[in-house]
Amino acid sequence: MRYNFDKHIERSNTASIKHDLKDIIFGTKDVIPFWVADMDFETPDFIRESVIKRAMHPVYGYTFRDDAYYQSIIGWMNRRYQWEIEKDWILFSPGVVPALNMAILAFSDPGDEIIVQPPVYFPFFSAVKDHNRTLVYNQLIKRDADYGIDFDLFEKQAQTAKLFVLSNPHNPVGRCWNAEELNKLATICLKNNVLVLSDEIHSDLVLPPNKHHVFAALSKEISEITVTLHAPSKTFNLAGLSSSSVIIENPELRKKMKTVLQSMHIEMGNIFGIEATKAAFNYGEPWLEQLLKYIQLNVNETVSFLNKNLPEVNIFVPEATYMIWLDFSFTGLLDEELRNKMIHEAGLGLSPGKDFGPGGSQMMRLNVACPKEILMKGLEQMASVFRKK
Ligand SMILES: Cc1ncc(COP(=O)(O)O)c(C=O)c1O
């Protein structure tokens, strides 16, 4: 491997949310952090070099996104997903969560019903509630080894809903939705005039042989009702550079979204985000292939370690993302007791499942995007505390 994902990077004292806010989040600094969804790996060299090169120029004045920026995104979508998009379709947002909030403002009114699929990334809930829209839970169906969609319920809910926020792939349950599932959702949305906000921030992190399906790319008809949210931030570990895209084919929808984006005056973004995006999408594939292999290795190691040493934990092996969704219901502990035991006895900072809404109770989300050695240390600590004596 050209890149060394085993390398330990000291992230303390870099204003890292994951590493420097442990005492605020967990009440102690003495935990190994496996929570926030960023990676403890180096952002790849070719991205750092592009940022450094720009930083060496002595003026950081007002900047726009040049044609090369748009071409890098167009090229990435075409090569990786055979999705042909045009420059005009791409709008900028500093982040996917801000884009989601602005899309909700653009495409719905107070009181409108918006469907989400918990247990799901919790800013989906606040994006709906903070703007006085109505949350509709299409709770995922927990099966033995993975999660499925309650289509019957979705069909009923779609009759009165305005929007559907899809996590494609799904955080935290790790599903890479297949074409059949997505087409079923799309058919229902088309029939009922429900607009789809497809959050595809984890799409590049699909573990082979699974294959990501861009929701909007399923058909021209579906593209007309879809707003796609994408970013280089999860894939290349550059969330601190605040750059993401909102991709919309339908000109009417695009106009509405643009009106809200422009009203916020946040279009400029930042110089380094622009350079990093270009480098990531133009040169990122070989690095990404290696990253995915390393994540798969860490997933495999976690599964085999827990199966051997803590077999009571039910593991939802991810098809995508670097998060593993773990079921701790065998402990019989209440959520707060489980959280405390994980923090204060096992010395581990995971994301508590209950934060992800209905269906999250007694679950924990483990972020495995870290050197294997650190992951194994964490798993040892977990097993030694939760193993049945
Ligand atoms: C599904 C999903 N959407 C969005 C985000 C964050 O997006 P951003 O940092 O661009 O606002 C995350 C981060 O974990 C995520 O899991």
The string of pLDDT tens digits covering residues 274-328 is 999 999 999 999 999 999 999 999 999 999 999 999 999 999 999 999 999 999 9
Which residue, by CA, sits nearest to atom 7 of ligand 1? 96
The mean per-residue pLDDT over the stretch 358-387 comes to: 98
What dihedral do alpha carbons 303, 305, 308, 310 form, nearest 10°? -90
Neighbours of 265 (CB within 10 A): 7
Ligand 1 lined by 171 (C-beta under 6 Å): yes
Q: Is 43 helix (H, G, I), strand (E, B) or coil?
A: coil
Ligand 1 center–CA 231 separation, angstroms: 9
Ligand 1 center–CA 201 separation, angstroms: 6
- Above 70 in pLDDT, residue 389? no
Which DSSP helix (H) or strand (E) runs through 279? helix 271-283
Q: Is the pTM of this model over 0.85?
A: yes
Neighbours of 208 (CB within 10 A): 10
The string of pLDDT tens digits covering residues 333-369 is 999 999 999 999 999 999 999 999 999 999 999 999 9
Q: What are 366's two structure tokens?
A: 């483990």
> Residue 146: which pLDDT band, with cuts at 50, 70 and 90?
very high
Output the pLDDT for position 65.
Answer: 97
- Best mutation site among 116, 201, 277 for ligand 1 pocket (most ligand atoms within 8 Å of CB): 201
Q: Is domain 59-282 classified as CATH 3.40.640.10?
A: yes
Ligand 1 lined by 239 (C-beta under 6 Å): yes
Going from N- to C-terminal start, the domains of the chain cover: 17-44+286-386, 59-282
The string of pLDDT tens digits covering residues 258-286 is 999 999 999 888 999 999 999 999 999 99
Output the pLDDT for position 267.
Answer: 87
Distance separating alpha carbons of residues 39 and 35, to the nearest angstrom: 10
The string of pLDDT tens digits covering residues 21-35 is 999 999 999 999 999
According to CATH, the topology of domain 17-44+286-386 is: Aspartate Aminotransferase, domain 1 (3.90.1150)
> What value does the mean pLDDT of the chain take?
97
Give, as one character, the DSSP assignment of residue 42.
P
Output the pLDDT for position 275.
Answer: 98
Ligand 1 lined by 167 (C-beta under 6 Å): yes
Task: State residue 242 phi and psi, 5-degree precision.
Answer: 45, 65
Output the pLDDT for position 37.
Answer: 96
What dihedral do alpha carbons 344, 349, 353, 356 form, nearest 10°? 130
Distance separating alpha carbons of residues 37 and 103, to the nearest angstrom: 23
Question: Per DSSP, what are the bridge partners of residue 134?
Answer: 113
Output the pLDDT for position 2.
Answer: 86
Ligand 1 center–CA 123 separation, angstroms: 8
Residue the block writes with tokens 């007694």: 362
